[in-house]
Amino acid sequence: MQLYIVETIQLCMKYHSLNGETDVLDNINLKIKEGEFISIVGPSGCGKSTLLSIIAGLIKPVSGIVLIEGNEVCSTSLKVGYMLQRDYLFEWRTILQNVMLGLEIRHLVNQENKEYVLSLLKTYGLYDFRDKYPSQLSGGMRQRAALIRTLAVRPKILLLDEAFSALDYQTRLAVSDDIYSIIKNENKTAILVTHDIAESISMADRVAVLSKRPATIKSMYDIRLTCKKKSPLCSREAPEFKEYFNAIWKDLDIHIN
Amino acid sequence: MNCSKEHIEYLKKVKKKKIAIFSTQILLLAIFFVAWEIAASFKIIDPFITSQPSRIVKTMANLYNQGVLFYHIGITCVETIVGFISGTIIGIIISIILWGFDFLGKVFEPYLVVLNSLPKIALGPIIIVWIGAGPASIIVMALTISLIVTIMEVLNGFINVDEDKIKLAKTFGATKIQILTKVVLPASFPVMLNALKINVGLSWVGVIVGEFLVSKAGLGYLIVYGGQVFQLDLVMMSVLILAAAAAIMYQGVVFIQKKLGYDLHNN
């Protein structure tokens, strides 16, 4: 039993182009326990998405290692599910075919998994739309379908890359509330990258603030809120919310000029 | 469903316009042929060099009675169909290879541009010498013309597939072949169908020019032979049949495109 389900050790990343090289990440050390919900906030372009891609195994860091359940990551791990900013549902597939995509790619299409997918569709209100096409669904429904597609392969760790940013504000609140309960019910570990401070405080157990490029972890906040039930909508009403918000906003040190 | 009075009026108006357009189209066609016939009969134009509808019909009947009318039409159509279908399929296969091996794709890029710029018809005499006079070289001509255009269109389509959809597939650990079959090919289906549509037209050009050069059969042959012996009836008849056949084939591909496009994208 590993102490940490996800661990990054002295992670560094550079981008090379004809214009020169850019230091993106510098000495990122993260330790995440199973079942934790971590949020990573930082100024735009500081490398948050790059960090997620490295944890997901899509790109290799320049130095440092990522451990998932104690094993070093060298390619995409079967234990990791990655939810991108947009749903990227395939227009030529029905909703059911879309959510089965991950299972298809991993050669895990069987009766049991198919039933699991159908039950997820039922639970999250998309069962009646399973034979419809993405163009017939609203933005919020599409994002829910994208989440089901990610959950279908039963990942232990969920990476959410600004997964709610492409939605309008009202849908965003509803969908993040939904997805939070799904993640907690299924007892997944989650890493949410976002630029929305309120979102990060309301959903996460801990919030890591990244500095400007080359990004390091400037500060880490343990989020303890008093609220009736821990949900993104209720957390925003907790008295401590404002303090965390102000502290993180100050940390981000964003200057408009 | 209850339609309001205004809606019924609207539908009537739309239908009226459609009928008006269609009748005018038929009328234009009729006037064209009637005017042609009359002008030729009254020697306003010289039927020796323009021919006339009645003589065209007679020529068609003659050829039919000799049993060769559908033979000529058939040969040209078969050459064209085989040419553009094989050109499209081989073009798609080559595009897949050039997409799959990025290095190869970059290496061949300038050569493809040159081959695309070269009018493939100029290769006609070479093809004929290497393959010999006959339907085979004509099909190869049609194939060559379709091939290069297909590669450029389809390869470009592959490269332009949404990068993020490919990233999504990679997050599940998809191999390059899975990315090809699950993302790139389905996403490029409209591009491939479009290439097919373009190739139909190009193939006809290749086939007719090929028949001009070396054939003893087909619509192109009839056109060039008729021209050489000043039998303009033969030439005009062949051109009209050619126009009809090409239009039908093109519409056939459009029909397939619509049908499959509907199934795939449900629009």
Q: What is the distance in angstroms between the Cα of B82 and the nearest Cα belonging to chain A?
A: 29
Q: How many domains does chain A have?
A: 1
What range defines the domain where residue A252 resides?
Answer: 1-74+191-257
Q: CA angle, B100 as apex, B96 and B104 as ends, to 5°? A: 100
Chain B CB within 8 Å of residue A248 CB: no
Structure-model confidence comparison of residues B215 and B82, the more confident one: B82
Q: What is the pLDDT of residue B237?
A: 93
Encode pLDDT of B38-64 as tens digits: 999 998 888 888 888 999 999 999 998
Nearest CB to B265: which of A76, A92, A101? A92
| Inter-residue contact B137 to B206 (CB < 8 Å) | no
Q: What is the pLDDT of residue B267?
A: 43
DSSP B48-77: HHH--HHHHHHHHHHHHHHT-HHHHHHHHH
Q: What is the pLDDT of residue B78?
A: 93
- Is A90–B178 a contact, with Cβ atoms under 8 angstroms apart? no
Nearest CB to A88: which of B168, B182, B266? B168
Which band of pLDDT confidence, cut at 50, 70 and 90, is reported for residue B24?
A: very high
Q: What is the pLDDT of residue A207?
A: 94
For residue A105, the chain B residues in CB contact (below 8 A) are 169, 172-174, 178, 182
Encode pLDDT of B70-80 as tens digits: 999 999 999 99
The mean pLDDT value for A204-226 works out to 88
Q: CA angle, B191 as apex, B185 and B195 as ends, to 5°? A: 120
Which band of pLDDT confidence, cut at 50, 70 and 90, is reported for residue A175?
A: confident
In a domain, A51, yes or no: yes
Nearest CB to B171: which of A56, A92, A93? A56
For residue A156, the one-letter residue type is: K
Q: What is the pLDDT of residue B46?
A: 87
Q: Is the model's pLDDT at B2 over the cut of 80?
A: no
Q: Is the model's pLDDT at A127 over the cut of 70?
A: yes
In a domain, A17, yes or no: yes
For residue A101, the chain B residues in CB contact (below 8 A) are 169, 172, 182
Q: Is the model's pLDDT at B266 over the cut of 60?
A: no
Encode pLDDT of A36-67 as tens digits: 999 999 887 778 889 999 999 999 999 899 99
The mean pLDDT value for B164-178 works out to 94
Q: What span, in angstroms and rounded, lies between the C-alpha atoms of B170 and B188?
A: 18
In a domain, A27, yes or no: yes
Give which of A74, A85, A87, A92 to mutate to test B binding, by max B Cβ within 10 Å.
A92
Q: What is the distance in angstroms between the Cα of B176 and the nearest Cα belonging to chain A?
A: 11
- Is A91–B265 a contact, with Cβ atoms under 8 angstroms apart? yes
SS3 category, B258: helix
Q: What is the pLDDT of residue B263?
A: 56
Quick one: CA torsion of B112, B114, B118, B120, rounded to 10 degrees? -20
Give which of B161, B166, B172, B181 to mutate to test A binding, by max A Cβ within 10 Å.
B172
Q: What is the distance in angstroms between the Cα of B172 and the nearest Cα belonging to chain A?
A: 6
What are the C-alpha distances in Å from B132 to residues A120, A250, B74, B223? Answer: 65, 81, 21, 21
Q: What is the pLDDT of residue A47?
A: 83
DSSP letter (8 states) at residue A215: B
Average pLDDT value for chain B: 90
Q: Given its phi and psi angles, is residue A247 left (phi above 0), alpha (psi -120 to 50 degrees) or beta?
A: alpha
In a domain, A100, yes or no: no
Q: Is the model's pLDDT at B26 over the cut of 90?
A: yes
Nearest CB to B164: which of A56, A78, A88? A88
In a domain, A234, yes or no: yes
Q: What is the pLDDT of residue A255?
A: 59
Encode pLDDT of A71-93 as tens digits: 888 888 888 999 998 899 999 99
- Is B171–A75 a contact, with Cβ atoms under 8 angstroms apart? no
- Is A88–B182 a contact, with Cβ atoms under 8 angstroms apart? no
Encode pLDDT of B109-141 as tens digits: 999 999 999 998 899 889 989 998 888 999 999
Look up residue A215 and give its two tokens.
């990004």
The mean pLDDT value for B157-173 works out to 94
Average pLDDT value for chain A: 88
Encode pLDDT of B233-263 as tens digits: 999 999 999 999 999 999 998 898 888 765 5
Q: What span, in angstroms and rounded, lies between the C-alpha atoms of B95 and A257?
A: 49
Cα-to-chain-centroid distance, residue A85: 9
Q: What is the distance in angstroms between the Cα of B184 and the nearest Cα belonging to chain A?
A: 11
Residue B250 CB contacts under 8 Å (≥ 6 apart), including other chains: B197, B200, B201
Closest residue of chain B to A52, computed from CA coordinates: B171
Size of interface A-B (CB pairs under 8 A): 54
Q: What is the distance in angstroms between the Cα of B265 and the nearest Cα belonging to chain A?
A: 5
Look up residue B117 and give its two tokens.
């710029």
Closest residue of chain B to A57, computed from CA coordinates: B171
Task: Please choose, from the candidates A189, A168, A184, A212, the residue with its C-alpha nearest in 3D space to the C-alpha of residue A41.
Answer: A212
Q: What is the distance in angstroms between the Cα of B240 and the nearest Cα belonging to chain A?
A: 40
- Is B170–A76 a contact, with Cβ atoms under 8 angstroms apart? yes
In a domain, A254, yes or no: yes
Quick one: CA torsion of A226, A229, A233, A238, rounded to 10 degrees? -10
Q: Identify the CATH number of the domain in which residue A224 sits.
A: 3.40.50.300
- Is B172–A105 a contact, with Cβ atoms under 8 angstroms apart? yes
In a domain, A196, yes or no: yes
Closest residue of chain B to A93, computed from CA coordinates: B264
Q: What is the distance in angstroms between the Cα of A22 and the nearest Cα belonging to chain B?
A: 22
pTM for the whole structure: 0.83
For residue B168, the chain A residues in CB contact (below 8 A) are 84, 88
In a domain, A33, yes or no: yes
Give which of A91, A95, A105, A153 to mutate to test B binding, by max B Cβ within 10 Å.
A105
> Could you tell me which residues of chain B have a Cβ less than 8 Å from any Cβ in chain A?
162, 164-165, 167-174, 178, 182-183, 186-187, 189, 264-267
